[in-house]
Every structure is written in structure tokens, then in C-alpha cells.
Amino acid sequence: MRGLQFEPKGFLVRDPQRITSLIGIRGGGIISIASDFNEYIGSNKNRSWAVLALSVLADTCSVTLMKTAQAESSLKKLALSFLGFFISLGGFAVSLKSIDVSIAYAVWAAFGTAIISVAGVVFFGERLDATKIVCLFMIVLGVVGLEISDRHDVSAIV
């Protein structure tokens, strides 16, 4: 049985070169997949916006899960929240391929803050008063203004 290698699909093969290419040591692997994914998302601005929106959702779910983990002293929920943060940051990084960093970060932070504020009220009984609502609205309005200014030449108006 010398020289036989186990292939991930369950077949025995005699060629170690084939095995290394199957597991990604040679021929790309996870790095190649990530690079291809980045190119695919970054080639279309709408895809980048969709990934950014999913990143915001992953971030807000992670923050909510972290709050629950702290209340319940749950290490499993805490670990899941860190995984969500990793996914969120990865998506954020991919979205930067075709969205300016100043716009992407403002959207990510502002909408994340707004969603977390609503989640705090709904899930944790936090207080939401008129001042908080107005301030959240101003944050979101500021982000919309940044996006509009990015699409149009504001210097022509001023």
C-alpha cells in the first residue's frame, strides 16, 4: 500500500501531485477562491453594495449575539459573535473594491448604529426617546449626503 494517498472525494490515488493540487497547496486553493470572489464582487458596484449590506447585518447580529452572550455567560454565543465579526469585516473589505472607503465605512457604521439601536429597544428593552431618534436620523441623513456628494460634483454647486 506504499505510495497510496487518500483523496478528499474518497478515492485512492497514487499521484501525490494530484493530492497537493486538490487540497490547495498547489494550484490556488482557498487563496485563489478568495481572490476570484473579490474580483467577482468588485467588478460590479451593485454587488459591492449588496455585500456591504450583508456585512452590516452580520455586524449587527454579532453585536446583538455578544450582548446575549454576556447576559447568559455563554462562551458558545461569544465565539459565534466573533465569527460574525470576522464575516462582517471580510465582507466590508471585499466591498471596498468598488466603493470609496469613506463612503463604505460611513454606511457600515451609521446603518449598523441605527440597526443596533432598534435591536436594543426590541430585544433588550432599552429606552428610545425623541432625541435618540432625531440623532439617528441625522446620522443616516449624513451618510446619504456623503453618497450624494460622491455621485455629483459638489464643487460645481458651491
Mean pLDDT, range 58-79, rounded to an integer = 95
Looking from the CA of 125 toward its CB, the CA atoms found within 13 Å total 0
C-alpha to C-alpha distance for 144 and 25, rounded to whole angstroms: 45
First to last CA, the chain: 79
- Residue 7: band (very low, low, confident or very high) from pLDDT cuts 50, 70, 90: very low
Q: Look at residue 48 in the predicted model and tell me its pLDDT.
A: 94
Percent of the chain with pLDDT over 90: 53
Tell me how far CA of residue 41 lies from CA of 65, 68, 124, 139, in angstroms.
28, 33, 35, 27
Nine-digit cell at 2?
A: 506504499
pTM of the model: 0.71
